[in-house]
Amino acid sequence: MDEKIDKLILKEKELLSLITSNEMFYVSLKQTEHYGLSINIINKLIDIKTNLLANNGNVIFTYSTLRYVFETLINSKLLLIEPKQTYKLYYFIYEHHIGKTDRFIKVLKNEISLIEKYIKLEQNNFEEFKNITNDNERFQLTSEKMNETEKLIDEQAEKELTIFFGDYKFNGYAYQKTLMEKELLPKYLEKLKGLNQQKKEISKQILLNSTMSALFNFKRQPSKIFAELKDIRSWNCKAKAVDLENEYLQIYELCSAIMHSTSYSLLTTKELEYGEKQFVTDLLLKYSTEIIKNIEKYLNLKQFAKFKINNI
């Protein structure tokens, strides 16, 4: 089975080489989105199957790979029948980056607010200790109590604080708060500012794109662009649009039992049995082969060369 995957990876690399050698053709046709999506899809397929071989039958990794490849198959089919899908996939990444960065900033600000409580607890703990001078016995008892209290504070913080907890314990709460406020937060705020500027610039370019303006109802308003580009459909809905609803239900039932913390995933072996490995590998080969054929149609590659991929 590994030999079949290696053979398919080789075919994918050949296809990638063919596409990249004709980059300027797609640029001249103003189809940089088609080109960019295609090479990224193929690169992802190569990477995940290469990692799959390296993980040698790990159950969770194998099923997560199957799910990802199946979803990519759905997208490749949508690209063939829905002209809008090209631009939704290609441009909505700007909104994804902004959303991800904005969510991290909110978590960071919340963490900075929470840490103030632990600074006060740490200070109160130290107050009992700082005035002891020559009383060795009292010093020892207070020191032990202080260490025990510090341990309890850390245990409580570990339950409540979510990021950089190891740094809190090493640096102390007050210093870690300063680092987060003065270094980390400004860094991510600047990153968010840059991402929003990128989004603003790309919005200007999109409004000048006659193909996109014909497909989407932007009304020449930048504020409407990413609302129009957002695909709110569930994967079930997307699968139904390309006649893969039944297969979607089968794949998701199969993968969910493994990828979530269920009785089955907790108690089953971590390695695939031979028959199961063969079954999943056959599906991966089937889906990957179909994706490649869809990309060939999507880019109309027959005009360059007789690139043909047979069933592996």
One domain, residues 135 and 189 = yes
pTM comes to 0.84
Q: Does residue 293 lie in a domain region? A: yes
Given a contact cutoff of 8 angstroms between Cβ atoms, the answer to whether 269 and 59 are in contact is yes
Q: Which residues span the domain enclosing 18?
A: 2-92+235-303
CA angle, residues 101, 107, 113, in degrees to nearest 5:
135
3-state secondary structure of 35: helix
Question: Given this model, what pLDDT does residue 238 score?
Answer: 97
Does the structure show a pLDDT above 60 at 114? yes
Q: Does residue 102 lie in a domain region?
A: no
Residue recorded with tokens 């949508």: 78
The answer as to whether 155 is a domain residue is yes
Three-state SS at 290: helix
Both 74 and 141 in a single domain? no
Q: 75 and 38 in one domain?
A: yes
Q: What is the pLDDT of residue 224?
A: 92
Is the pLDDT confidence value at 168 over 90? no
Using only the alpha carbons of the chain, give its radius of gyration.
27
Same domain for 83 and 10: yes
Write phi, then psi, for 19 (nearest 5 degrees). -65, -50
Shared domain for 6 and 78, answered yes or no, is yes
Residues in the chain: 312
The span from the CA of 167 to the CA of 175, in Å, is 10
Q: How many domains does the chain have?
A: 2
User: Given this model, what pLDDT does residue 61 score?
Assistant: 84
CA distance 146 to 153: 10
- Does residue 79 sit in the same domain as residue 159? no
* Higher local confidence (pLDDT), 259 or 104: 104
Is residue 32 a part of any domain in this protein?
Answer: yes
What is the mean predicted confidence (pLDDT) over 251-279?
Answer: 76
Per-residue pLDDT for 191 more than 90? yes
Q: How many CB atoms lie within 10 A of CB 92?
A: 14
Asked whether residue 88 falls in the same domain as residue 120, the answer is: no
SS3 content of the chain, % helix, strand, coil (to 5): 80, 0, 20
Q: Are 130 and 88 found together in one domain? A: no
Q: How far is CA 304 from CA 18, 64, 76, 139, 296, in A?
A: 8, 35, 20, 83, 11
What b/e sequence results for 52-62 when a residue is b if at least 16 CB atoms lie within 10 Å of its CB, and e otherwise? beeeebbbebb
Q: Is the pLDDT of residue 169 over 60?
A: yes
Any domain includes 131: yes
Neighbours of 205 (CB within 10 A): 10
Provide φ and ψ at 235, rounded to 5°.
-65, -30
Confidence of residue 140 (pLDDT cuts 50, 70, 90): low
59-103 tens-digit pLDDT: 788 888 999 999 999 999 999 999 999 999 999 999 999 999 999
Integer CA distances (angstroms), 59 to 70, 104, 216, 248, in order:
17, 31, 42, 19
Percent of the chain with pLDDT over 70: 88
How much is the pLDDT for 121? 84
- 121 and 185 inside one domain: yes
**Where does the pLDDT of residue 293 fall: very low under 50, low under 70, confident under 90, or very high at 90 and above?**
very high
- At residue 117, does pLDDT exceed 90? no
Mean pLDDT of 257-264: 77
Burial of 256 (0-12, 13-18, 19+ CB in 10 A): middle
Between 213 and 169, the more confident residue is 213
Res. 269: pLDDT tops 80: no
* Same domain as 122, residue 85: no
Q: Residue 188 above 60 pLDDT?
A: yes
State yes or no: pLDDT of 130 exceeds 70. no
The reply to whether 190 and 239 lie within a common domain is no
Separation between Cα atoms, residue 62 and residue 52, nearest integer Å = 6
Instruction: Report if residue 108 sits inside a domain.
Output: no
Residue 86 is assigned to a structural domain of this protein:
yes
The answer to whether residue 226 is domain-embedded is no
Q: What's the pLDDT at 58?
A: 78
Domain boundary among 145, 175, 198: 198
